[in-house]
């Protein structure tokens, strides 16, 4: 299954690949060169298909847990001052996505969407310290009565050229449901209450909608 955000790109890429196949077959006589080009074109198409895949995930719904919003690797776990919405200290957990990861964004908790905002910005590499504040990004805040307020931020990277965000203020979010997509990009930051119990470690690989990032510290 492929994400709807990729349908147009997949179709256009397929048309270009087919046209390229025909041109190569008609105008390149060297067998080894023709084969090499065809393999490269096919490899590129497979890469596009892999990037826009949207595997089904089964989320164990719980208001006590924060699940990973994306597939990738945990690259930041630290206490920071969140400037945009909370204007206070929070625990930040960041997940970096490589080009071969699934790039669907999912709601980390269920509840009421309190805030949703898009910011234009730069395209610094995703691991740059200022990427969270200077890159193109969206900020979403969700609240439920058990866990409280959780902010997640989609951040574009050096290759990302479009962030898609489905979260709308005052709507309900379903934990693990599709909340957006980052085309050819790159990182999601979570900002959690200071008393939360982190369940992941640095460099740990996580799966969107399934891996538990944190839980209520009872």
* Secondary structure letter of residue 159 according to DSSP: S
Can you read off the two tokens belonging to residue 142?
A: 């969700």
Q: In which region does residue 87 sit, left (phi positive, over 0), alpha (psi from -120 to 50) or beta (all else)?
A: left
Q: Is residue 84 classed as helix, strand or coil in its secondary structure?
A: coil
Spatial CA neighbour of 152 closest among 194, 60, 90 = 90
Enumerate the active-site residues.
Answer: 186
Can you read off the two tokens belonging to residue 182?
A: 């980052």
Residues in the chain: 218
- Give the C-alpha distances (Å, rounded to integers) separating 40 from 33, 44, 49, 168: 11, 6, 14, 41
């Amino acid at each position: 299954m492929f994400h709807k955000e990729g349908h147009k790109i997949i179709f256009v890429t397929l048309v270009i690949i087919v046209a390229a196949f025909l041109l190569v077959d008609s105008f390149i006589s060297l067998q080894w060169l023709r084969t090499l080009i065809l393999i490269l074109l096919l490899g590129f198409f497979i890469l596009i298909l892999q990037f826009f895949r949207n595997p089904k995930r089964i989320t164990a719904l719980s208001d006590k847990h924060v699940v990973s919003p994306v597939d990738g690797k945990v690259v930041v776990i630290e206490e920071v001052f969140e400037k945009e919405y909370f204007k206070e200290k929070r625990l930040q957990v960041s997940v970096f996505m490589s080009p071969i990861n699934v790039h669907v964004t999912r709601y980390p908790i269920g509840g009421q969407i309190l805030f949703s905002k898009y910011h234009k910005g730069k395209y610094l590499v995703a691991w740059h310290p200022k990427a969270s504040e200077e890159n193109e990004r969206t900020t979403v805040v969700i609240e439920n009565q058990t866990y409280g307020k959780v902010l997640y931020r989609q951040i574009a990277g050096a290759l990302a050229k479009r962030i898609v965000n489905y979260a709308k203020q005052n709507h309900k979010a379903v934990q693990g449901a599709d909340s957006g997509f980052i085309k050819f990009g790159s990182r999601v930051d979570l900002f959690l209450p200071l008393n939360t119990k982190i369940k992941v470690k640095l460099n740990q690989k996580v799966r969107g909608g399934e891996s538990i990032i944190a839980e209520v510290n009872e």
